[in-house]
Structure 1
Amino acid sequence: MEAKTEHTFPFMEGGGEMGELTRNKNWETTTLGAPSTWPQSLRTTLSIVLNSRFPMYVFWGPDYIGFYNDAYRVSLGKDGKHPSILGMKGKDAWPEIWDTIYPLLQNVLKGNGATWSENQLIPIYRNGAIEEAYWTFSYSPIKEEKGKINGILVTCSETTASVKTMQNLEESESDLQFAMDAAELCTWDYNPLTNKFKSNERLKEWFGLPMEFHIQLNDAIAAIQKSDQERVSKAIARALDYTSGGKYDICYTIQNKKTKQTRIVRAVGRSWFNNENIAYRFNGILQDITDDKKAQQKIQDSEKKFRNLVQDVPVGIAIINAKDFKVELVNDKALDIWNTNRNLAEGRSIFNVLTEIEAGLRPIFENVIQTQTAQTGMEYPFNLVRNGQTVTAYFNFIFSPSIDDKGNVATILCVASEVTESVIARHHVLESEAEFQNLVLQSPIAMGILRGTDLKIEMANEVLLNHFWRKKKKEVLGKNLLDVFPELNSQEYPTYLRSVIKTGKPVSVKESHAIVESNGVRKEYYVDFDYIPLKELDGSISGVMLTVTDVTNSVAARQKLENFSKELEQQVLERTELLKKANEKLEDTVRELEKSNDELESFAYISSHDLQEPLRKIQMMSSRILKMESENLSEKGMQYFDRVISAAERMRTLIEDLLAFSRTSKQQEEFEVQNLTSLLEQVIENLSEKIEMTNTQITYDELGEAKVIPFQIRQVFQNLIENSIKFAKINTPPQIDIKVKTIHGSKIKNVLLDSELSYHELSFHDNGIGFEKEHEERIFEIFKRLHGKLEYQGTGIGLAIVKKIALNHNGAVSANSSLGKGAIFRLYLPLA
């Protein structure tokens, strides 16, 4: 048999890890001293503790020296108190809870008996941190032979997991009850074996049943509307049948037995079956859906009224499913536009009905679905097949989304009216008006237009203004003829003009003697004139077009020829004087022309700016008339009114472009060194909406710095980008690639630049329709357009502004293109 040593005692044998640690510890360094001196009560207690599989801890002596076993060691976790607290004083071992456990220990030491605590929260330091832990434990006294209490035995078990599980369960039950109350749901629980039916108070209140805990199922069924009772009973029986799966979902009407109030409810539940496939429990919830049902009925009634209304309106209406684009509803007007019948349209994809417009229509529908906002179009062109031929038709439309309860677009309401005839008619009118105006303005013969009996001056070409009237446009346009030239009141012309307006008959007079005063100077002419009536569509005379030919010289020549034999010498003198005056007049004309050139840009700015205020009033009053009086206007009146609005919009665009053009001539702005990339990004931000709508892609280099007038360069960038977007190919998103390089002036061809300087060459390359090479210079001329107004909107000023700004910056601009292959615009700016 092995001999016992000083450090090996029977009471320390066994005990696993803690037994070994207890045996190997140098106890002489503690207040307990060597184990050989320990009292028998401590030895006996340790022998029990070390070999027990129940968690135990021992506090011994006045210092509460600690011992524990392997079962207790688990509660200490990792990176905590183990094994340092073995043999440590209690206060040092448990500082975080000493204030809690010390009173308990004291109470036991005083002989007040053992303690018992259940699910007590006592934090503990373990796993590197203070953790909340729950314990069920007992403190029991350890007595020596004489009955004195020298130690305390702690038996404990950690209940943290079970406590937190109960807490979570209570919280879940509370949340469930809260949800049930918030949703105003009823609950029921039925025992088919005992026929006992219990529910919450809300269900009993709805059914008008007594508040006793248990009621009979038949009592609940009796509160159901009689017409629904049999259907509900069958549904319950089906749910209690094992082969049905136990599911129960039904809607029915109940009536409170006491108040007679009715509700429409939805019951959802299930049955539970035992091993013998017999239902032992049937439970679920009940929801009041009265308002939903009434709302659904209203929707159905509204939908019916809507469908009836849709069929009667004089515009095309269709409802398209947003998922598969099938036609759910279409009225007769839309079928007429589509040139099909209802059987071939409803229930089919609109792209199968109108295959020819899918490319133009699908992107609009997809934009409605993606943005969930309505898309509108005015005079939008679609290619339709009619009578076997593809024709372009124009429509005003609005495509509006309908959002479902999940926040997705369910259907698209399409409302459209065809305006092809009015678009074509207006196009012809605009073209005719433009041709007529050009004819008048560019005629070498003096021509003008007067309107109304007041003879208001609407138009006058340069020959009439400069030769006869010697007035500027702003001095005469919009004013009454006789207010500008009161001396005509005593002459024959007002009588002739009013006669033309009254009778509609033209007047033609030869060699009429006219006297015109302008700027204090009185001049006499002999003129041939023609007064032609201007008729409206209804045949009324609204004005007079006048043409005037100066025959003063020929009349004077004839008179001189008649008196030639008598007045030859005088004629020579008069001719000499006339020649002198002609020379003086020519000199005056040259001086006036030079002055006009200097003042032209200032005049353009002032006139454009001053015209905006009356134009705004015209547009504002037109909008009010259209809003308030549209029902009182005849169809022809509406056509005239549309022409007024269209003309005002064209004038507004022209004024804004003239104003922008005039600003480019101002030199008082100071040049600044600017980052060109920053200016470009500002323009792209300003055009972001147009860029997104057209799916335009723009790429650009780092453009460097240049000494520029910032707002003018931004105008250049904007005009070039908008030009590329405007002249994009059909069904092809615009792509604009902006690159930069440094180039010496001597290497730049086709534009006039300083050969001693270096320049930024900024190239704007797009994938648009391009233009023919012969137009590369013409496109920079003011008011020059390569396309008709119906095809592409604009005034023809944008690129002229680009050229003028480039020249202001001592630079240049050029264009290169070929038809159908895009265009490259190159802007040259001196290096900063």
Structure 2
Amino acid sequence: MPVPSETSHQKSNLPFIQGGGEMGELIRHFNWDNVCIGPPGQWPLSLRITIGNLLNSAFPMFLFWGSELTCFYNDAFRPSLGIDGKHPAIGKKGKEVWPEIWNFIGPLIEGVMTTGKPVWFEDQLVPFYRNGRMEDIYWTFSYSAVVGDDGTIQGVLVVCTETTEKVLNLKKLHESESQFRNMVAQAPVAIAFTLGEDLVVESVNTPMISAMRKTSESEIVGKTLLQVLPELEGQAILEIVRNVLRTGESFKGFAVPIKFLIDGQLQDEYFDLSYTPIIEEGRISGVLHLAIKVTEQVMSRKKLEESEAYLQHRVEERTRELANANKELQRSNSQLEEFAHAASHDLKEPIRKIHFFTDRLKNQLSDKMSPEDMRMFGRVEHASQRMNSLIDDLLLYSHVSQRPHEKKTIDLNEKMKRLLEDLELDIAEKAAVITIGELPVIQGHPRQLQQLFQNLLTNALKYSRADVAPHIEITAKLVSGTRHDLLPDKRYHLIIVSDNGIGFEQEQAEKIFQMFHRLHGKTEYEGTGVGLAIARKVAENHGGKLTAQSEPGKGAIFNLYLPVE
């Protein structure tokens, strides 16, 4: 005889389907008369317990139950079905709900129902129909057996989370890394990376393959520098590279001779060279090699010097050389600025994407993540922020590397007043006391000088002693170039910036102006290691210089010399 339908009052007296949000409401009002498992009041205890746990879980869950694999799911799973798609699927047969992926999930369900063994997948592509169209959707999920009242397997519980954004984010990050490698490969300057004490070549671009007198990357990559060029043994250039790796001090050289084995004989080739240490996690891991072959220019110059007409043509040729060099420098500066802008955009794009996707993932998963997961998210955010600051500083350094063509009259008193307004929050946070004497009016580039003084002040604020309010003093006076290792026939404004911070060993006084050189770890003091390099470059651009004096625990004094014009 037919089983009578349950009334709303009867359903309301079933505690396991009380609450449960939108899905609980659907289950309570669904007509179960035509479903093989019958109305909720007749459901076995095992199903009731499973449904109760499912409805009250904050983690996405889906249940297949009984011979027809009747479908249940909770509010946490509901958003995964989209707006225009499969919802509502409560009470429907599994094969009817998921026809487009049944050839994949059907065997999984059957296997779990038959063997009782759970299955687990990570970042698995399972496309299905939602939001009015087929979508590629990635999941991390597990299928596990649910045992009925009689001890046999009656259902399969799916615990899952959608990882589409994470997978797409990683794909875009890999694409960005590939774009960066392509940019290096296409650079007009010869570039190579070596790793470790043995100087194993990790990568090279086409100009470097040619500079090493090789024909393919396979002859170089994965081998030590000496395996690629055994003739370097005993040459000064090899010791220079090793010294960069050992000390962390960069090297730049012009028209540097290197002997290559050519047709069985050692012959000199000449290069403009730059070697920069690669620092990872505070440790020097390798060396970045940049090279421009200038053999033809050097040989041409030597022949000219040897010619009998050298003295007669010296002034004329020198004038032409300087004019050509100036044109070449202007062209190189323009190319450098274009390259820096392109590199800044290409490198910042993945950083912006990382910020966007980590924010979205945190917002969606923060209540489900463990403290360790949150810590890892924090590390990703901190690393991307630091990378963003480094890119900004490198772009700024490329700008200040160019000497200003036009100078303006600048009242440093007004410049300093505006700078203190810009740093008002930092100064207040540190409770810093800043004393400024009478400063001169000079000729210079406003933006570059703004950056110089800003870097000196932020440096003094940053490296203050714990529990000691920073006291920064800025004074100025006129000095003779003769007494300060400058042009003897000129006078200079000496601007002194002193503080009472942590200080440093005097032997480090030159190293602090090197690109990326840091006396302290990233965890102690934030920064990119570029600020003081920018400050010195600006001083040099204005025909002056920047030096430092210090002792540990006794603060630091920065001496800025700018010519009187």
TM-score class, shorter-chain normalisation, is 0.3 to 0.5
Indicate the structure whose relative CO is greater, using CA pairs within 8 Å and at least 6 residues apart: 2
